Amino acid sequence: MAELTFEKKNILVTGGAGFIGSHLCERLIREGNRVICVDNLSTGGVHNIDSLLPNSNFQFLRLDINDPIDLENYAELAAFKLPFQGIQEIYHLACPTSVKDFDQYKIQTLLANSTGNYRVLELARKYRARILFASSAVVYGTRDKANPFVAEEYVGAGNDHLSPRGCYDEGKRFSETMFSTYRQVHALEVKIARIFRTYGPRMPLGDGQLIPDFVLSAIDGQDIVVYGGKPFHTSLMYVTDCVDGLVRLMKAPADQWLVNLGSDVDHDIADVAEIILKTVGTKVGVRHDAPLMFLSELALPRCARAKELGWLPLIRLEDGLRHTIDYVKANKILLTTL
């Protein structure tokens, strides 16, 4: 049976009011699609999608993906003609991500990585939609100092299913198993993107998320605090590069379905803090504090598969930091109130 084509694709983005999700929604709208954004706003915010709300091709639904979802019951989606057109693509990003408030969201994280997956995969099965899961570099476990680079074939060094981080780290591994199993059993066209540390505008402030907190401290003339040992190394990918990788993976042939997305450049985070201080023009110090449970040195990605999609991270660190600094300066009052 030939695949039906439509003037505009209907695309569902779960977690679409979050940091990466909101940038993805903007990209998809720019490309001429209709986008249904689903988010329960546990760690996302409507302020991230304010500019999209007036657009007739965009619809936001405040829903929890752990609950049963029947999109055809929502009058707001009448223009999407779901009974006739269905949904062509699903980007599944919904999962609480908070560093400092990690304990607060443990049960929601556990459910998002199990029940939530099931709800979204069943939607994909109903509409025969292509579906992409936003996985994480945490599936590889902590960094091997002697050999920090990992390719997709690496099975990981994680053994923390009973640890305080298990609901997220092991949850992402189990999520990949769920998506892979639906691919095997139901012949769904599944994509899995293992996303490495990403930064940029719309990251939450005051949450221990490295870059935005560094910027806020610099603007306020306070010492920058690096949580973790010294030195603390990480890769950093700008959010629009991440979104470009997700879109390219979704459009790729079915056999290109598991891909690392991240920068393979290793940074000492204290050096990054110094760049931020220089850009802001503040003379304060950089000090190290006790590690946070959800903030650790992760592996570095080998990106050969992503490069086969024509993908490369294009935004230089200095430019990405400047964009992030400009955003925090412009939105500081609003964001700190939220």
| Residues tagged active-site | 168
d(CA 250, CA 143): 28
3-state secondary structure of 226: strand
d(CA 261, CA 246): 8
Residue 334 vs residues 19, 290, 324, 329: alpha-carbon distances, Å: 16, 29, 15, 10
- Residue found by looking up tokens 């569902």 in the block: 12
Is there a contact between 19 and 45 (Cβ–Cβ < 8 Å)? Answer: no
The residues, ordered by sequence, that sit 6+ positions from 337 with a Cβ below 8 Å of its Cβ are: none
d(CA 175, CA 115): 10
State the alpha helices, DSSP H only, in 150-284.
Answer: 166-186, 211-220, 239-251, 269-280
The CA-CA-CA angle for residues 235, 265, 259, to 5°, reads 70
User: What pairing do the DSSP bridges indicate for beta strands 34-39 and 258-261?
Assistant: unpaired
Size of the chain, expressed as the number of residues it contains: 338
